[in-house]
Amino acid sequence: MRIVSADLHIHTCLSPCATLDMTPRKIVEQAQKRNLEIIAITDHNSAENAGSVMVAAQNTELCVIPGIEVTTSEEAHIVALFENPLDALSMQTLVYNHLQPGENDDDLFGMQVIANAFDEVEGINRRLLIGATNLGLSEVVDAIHKLNGLVVAAHIDRQAFSIISQLGFIPEGLDLDAVEISRRITLTQARARFREYERFAFITSSDAHDIPEVGISPTNFLMTGPDMDELKLALKGTKGRKIEY
């Protein structure tokens, strides 16, 4: 067993409000500078750039998990993490079919760039990715699990776009694999503040929208190596794998 450092919530230049510097190669380079061993690419309501980041990291020891950050009809953010890009793209199809109508405003939210592994622009996503879907919280959680993904309630300490900010609580029986704390507080502080949710695994992530933010608030896991199977065990706290608080 050893300590593996992970940042499980990183946006690329496809996400609204992310800088155009958030390209696949630059994200991989910054992750390596931060000594991260696992990152997850979780753009807003899209997974189109996750595969490019995975390709950009192929000749490194960095494990890249494809994911997506879904905005539910309650306007709560849910991070989904998948074993392979095909599952992430399947979730993306569901999300695209349930997005609010309309087009992105480039001047207001920034361009939504689809990039390849060499940081070349391959297209511009015109969908309104910053908006909510009409999928309810339970629908999103169930859909992620049907694709064998992990469900993380994003930044539950924030005053907007979290389950707690939108509902006031985490519903009993909601099948979450973890809850995420923003970089504004530590895991120790969060576990004291949210003691009623101690049944969940607590993680921190950067929620990075700019290159210097990548890896600014990682989670350390005790596991045999950086891969998705080990991450699942660590979130469950089984077979000696665990989160290092």
CA separation for the pair 182, 193 (Å, rounded): 13
- Altogether, the residues listed in the chain come to a count of 245
Which of 95, 8, 118, 85 is CA-nearest to residue 46? 95
Domain ranges of the chain: 2-243
| CATH architecture for residues 2-243 | Alpha-Beta Barrel (3.20)
CA separation for the pair 14, 242 (Å, rounded): 32
41: CB partners within 8 A, 6+ apart: 10, 11, 12, 27, 47, 49, 50, 53, 54, 64, 65, 66, 67
Question: How much is the pTM?
Answer: 0.95
At 150, give phi and psi (nearest 5°): -100, 140
At 33, give phi and psi (nearest 5°): -60, -35
Q: What is the pLDDT along the chain (245 residues), one digit of tens a residue?
A: 899 999 999 999 999 999 999 999 999 999 999 999 999 999 999 999 999 999 999 999 999 999 999 999 999 999 999 999 999 999 999 999 999 999 999 999 999 999 999 999 999 999 999 999 999 999 999 999 999 999 999 999 999 999 999 999 999 999 999 999 998 888 889 988 999 999 999 999 999 999 999 999 999 999 999 999 999 999 999 999 999 98
| Cβ–Cβ < 8 Å for 174, 137 | yes
